[in-house]
Each structure stands twice: as structure tokens, then as C-alpha cells.
Chains A and B, each alone.
Chain A
Amino acid sequence: MTSRLTIPDNTQAPPAERHGNVGHLERVLRSGQFAVTAELAPPDSADPRDVHARAQLFAGHVDAMNATDGSGANCHMSSVAMCALLAREGHETVMQISCRDRNRIAIQGDVLGASALGIRNLLCLTGDGVQVGDHPEAKPVFDLDSLSLLEIVAGLRDKHAFASGRSLTSAPQVFLGAAANPFAPPFAFRPHRLAKKIAAGAQFIQTQYCFDLPRFQDFMHRARDLGLVEKCFILPGVGPLASARTAEWMRRHVPGVHIPDEVIERLKGAKNQKAEGRDICIEMIQQLREIEGVSGVHIMAHRQEASVPEIIQRAGILGERMP
């Protein structure tokens, strides 16, 4: 006897039609409201409940959660899987893509898959070198750099074609982001590098941790002079430092993070260093908000994710808004 399989008809409309063409983060930025994104570290786990538990901390407080892609060259759940799990629950995510681990064939496949799964925002990164992570013996790929990655993804979306020129039947609908680090040399090149990223397709920018306000102001000043702030949304990175010791450790060991001595001195002098770290972060957010051309903030609260809602609330940046 042959059993007859019935295939349930649960095919859904493609994500573009379900949610309209513009994602939440893009809508908030375009409407001129101050946007808040936060970094969400994927778990070292195969259990979706671990992903949801992490996202629950941010839900209702941020406009989008960034799922990191093997950040610090450490192995975790993939950003594409993490974002897909979150998109299914209605969360807005920013999927980070790094050039370290995959070549252009794998990356383009992931971008199509991500869009099909309802992921709206992509952040194109070069990625950390393998030597800083937990698999220093790994072979780094770096087939692309963050700029050629941006260009290729913009091509998938706008030219409906792979980098090879072969055309797509349906193009991914994505809002494209890139990173900037105004706090690393050569400082004079940094605004021009931002211009290159915009030329390659970046629509929003998240920066490395900002602890040095004058340096950031200088960067923004040059970016305004180059006419860049009208062409993309800039979200400087911020985060609470847990103590003077962590700050010193980060300064020494995390590539690209620059923490001025004054910040470390201030933490040292505080009775409760952790609370002081949060206060510094909140003050930084309020000062950044006043800078012309800043469209929001990106909060990276590594191992202090639970403090993110409090920081956002005390900084008073959402007003009456409930993301």
C-alpha cells in the first residue's frame, strides 16, 4: 500500500510583501528620530531558547539588535541563524557579515538566504584577524574587504546580479550598513574612508566605541565638510565600562579601541566603578546626540547587556517612543 503524502500549503508571501519594503530601523532613521541599536552576542549553544533569552533583554528598548559574526575572531552561533530566529519572533536585527571567514561565493549565498528569511539590515565588516580569537590556527579568508563586500551586496540589490554578472530572479531587500573607526590612525584618512564606504553603498554607519569626544567631533566636522552626513545615517558606538581594570585591559587587548587616560582616571576615582561606567556612557550618549549629523547610537554593552534598558531610559533618548 502506498501512503499518500499531503503537503500542507503553508507557503507564505515573501518577506518583502509581508512587511513592506522598508524595515523598522530604516523607517526610524528616515523619519529623523533618534535611533538606538544594541549589540547582541550570539550564544555558544545550539538551543534557540538561548537566543530568545538574550533578545528579551533588549525587546521594546532598541530599534534593532546587531547579531555579531564571530566577533573578536571567536566562534559562536552564526549571525544569519541568530537573525533568522529573531526575525521569526518579529524582532528587528542587523546581521553582521565579516570577510574573515567566507569568500564571495559563500557570502552572496548567505545574503540571499538572509533576505529570504526576513532579515532587513546588513552590516558589512572586514572582521578581526584570527590571531586575537579562540582559533588563532585558523586560515583567514579575506577574499573581499568591507568595501568590495558593500559593493557586491549593493549590486545584488540594485543590479539584481551576482558579482559575476549572472542575474537574480529576485533581489534581496536590504538596508546596508558599514563600520567606521574615527579613533584609529591614520586619522586624516578616516573621513575619506567613510566617503569610500558611502560610495560603495553604505546607508548607515555604526562606529567603534566612542570615549574620546573631541576626536569624534573632529571626525564629524570633516564628515560634514565632505557632505557625508546627508548621505548616510551615523550611529556612534557607546558602552559602559565595568571598571578601570577592564578599561585598561580593553585598551591593551581589543584592536581599535581607544580609551583616553581621563576616562580611566575617572573610573579609578569612583566608589562604585560599575555605576560610574554607566554614568560615563549615559553622559556620552547625551553629548553625542547634540552633534550635528549624529542619527542615533549603537550600544555595545559586552557582558552588561542587562544594563542596556536602564542606560537608554536614563539617557532619555527615546522620549515617548516605544521601539
Chain B
Amino acid sequence: MYSIRLWAARYARLLELTYRAVEPVIIKLQPLWKSVGYARAEKPVASLEQACKGLLFDCQMCGQCILSSTGMSCSMNCPKNLRNGPCGGVMQNGNCEVEPDKRCVWVEAWEGSQRMKDSDAIQVVQLPVDHRLQGTSSWLRVARQAAERRESLK
């Protein structure tokens, strides 16, 4: 929902902290994911993720979440799908050129990022979207990548 999405960017700091608390839990649940099997865990976890993040951020389930780099304002809601910052068409009142009655997601993102501890994350250049990941869980991907990293260090 649009108003909740705006709220989320306004409370970016709080959500950042929540995220930081939740992420290790998902990573800790690693043995569970492994025993269930990633493929079988995918569907229920993705549904859960969609429910939570759909409500809070209007998440589009791109599968490669960058919320922590975008001030908790999901950039997949930008009509041009910009992942790296606002286009030049933002109106003087901070609204979107394509959807003039909505705030530019990047205006929200900038303000949100300034409230976050890691306010510099917004300056990282994001890679092009991998469209194959659409609809998949980025939580599970993060967990899996963390586990693989740990494995490779062993």
C-alpha cells in the first residue's frame, strides 16, 4: 500500500535495525533450509517474503533485494525501474514524472538513506537486474550465499 510504503522510508532507520536483526536469524536457520532443500523451501519462504515486504514496501519480488541501499524505498516501484538513483524528470515538488500524484521513489530513497546508519550504501553502483530471479526469495538467496561463503572459508 502506498501510504505504508511512504511510512517505511520514513522509518528506514528502525527497519534497517529490524533487518539487521532478522538477517542473521535467516542465516542461522541454514540447517533447516538445507534439510528441507532450497527448492522446496523456496515457495513457502517466497510467499512469506512477499506477504511481509509486499505490505511494507510494495515489494515486486525482484529476487535481488537492494532495500538497504535505497533507504527502504523499493526502487522496483519506479516506473522506469531505476536501480541507481532518480532520473532527470523528477518534478519540482518531488513527485514522479510518470505518476505525477506519487512521490518519486528516489526522493523517498534519498531521505530514507539519510536516516540510516549505512547512509552511504545508496552510492554503490547496482548491477543490471537479473530478470530470471523475478518471483524468487531474496532472503533465501542471502542465506544461501552466506552459507556458501562460510563453506569456502573453511
Contacts and interface: CB of A to CB of B under 8 A. Distances in A.
A binds B: yes
Interface of A: 99-100, 104, 126-129, 131-132, 140, 142-148, 151-152, 163, 179-181, 184-186, 188-189, 192-193, 195-196, 199-200, 208, 255-256, 258
- The 5 A-B pairs of least Cβ separation, nearest first, read A181-B88, A255-B89, A255-B97, A147-B84, A148-B128
A147 B69 CA distance: 15
B125 A199 contact: yes
Nearest to A129: B98
B90 interface: yes
B90 A145 contact: no
Nearest to B107: A186
A256 B125 contact: no
A132 B88 contact: no
Contacts of B91: 184-185, 255
13 contacts: A128-B89, A140-B79, A142-B80, A145-B81, A147-B84, A148-B127, A151-B127, A179-B88, A181-B89, A189-B86, A189-B106, A196-B84, A255-B91
B123 interface: yes
Interface in B76-133: 79-94, 97-98, 104, 106-107, 110-111, 122-123, 125-129, 131
Contacts of A100: 80
A186 B85 CA distance: 10
A275 to B, nearest CB: 28
Contact of B125 (A140, A181, A196): A196
A268 B101 CA distance: 31
Contact of B85 (A129, A152, A189): A189
A184 B125 contact: no
A104 B127 CA distance: 12
Given A145-B80, A145-B81, A184-B86, A256 B97 contact: yes
Contact of B97 (A132, A186, A258): A132
B27 to A, nearest CB: 28
Given A132-B97, A189-B110, A140 B80 contact: yes
A185 B90 contact: yes
A262 to B, nearest CB: 15
B128 A104 contact: yes
Contact of A184 (B81, B89, B122, B126): B89
Interface of B: 79-94, 97-98, 104, 106-107, 110-111, 122-123, 125-129, 131
* Chain B residues touching A, majority SS: loop
Given A179-B88, A185-B94, A152 B128 contact: yes
A128 B88 CA distance: 9
A200 B92 CA distance: 27
Contacts of A131: 98
A164 to B, nearest CB: 11
Contact of A126 (B80, B104, B128, B129): B80
Nearest to A147: B84
Contact of A145 (B83, B88, B92): B83
Given A143-B128, A163-B128, A185-B90, A126 B107 contact: no
A169 to B, nearest CB: 23
Contact of B84 (A104, A127, A145, A256): A145
Contact of A148 (B84, B87, B98): B84
Nearest to A188: B110
A148 B104 CA distance: 20
A148 B82 CA distance: 10
A128 B98 CA distance: 9
Contacts of B88: 126, 179-181, 184, 208, 255-256
A103 to B, nearest CB: 9
Contacts of A193: 84-86
B66 to A, nearest CB: 12
Nearest to A179: B88
A284 to B, nearest CB: 18
A205 B106 CA distance: 21
B123 A192 contact: yes
A186 B86 contact: yes
B64 to A, nearest CB: 13
Instruction: Pick the most buried of B82, B83, B127: most chain A CB atoms within 10 A of its CB.
Output: B82
Contacts of B93: 185
Nearest to B87: A126
A196 B123 contact: yes
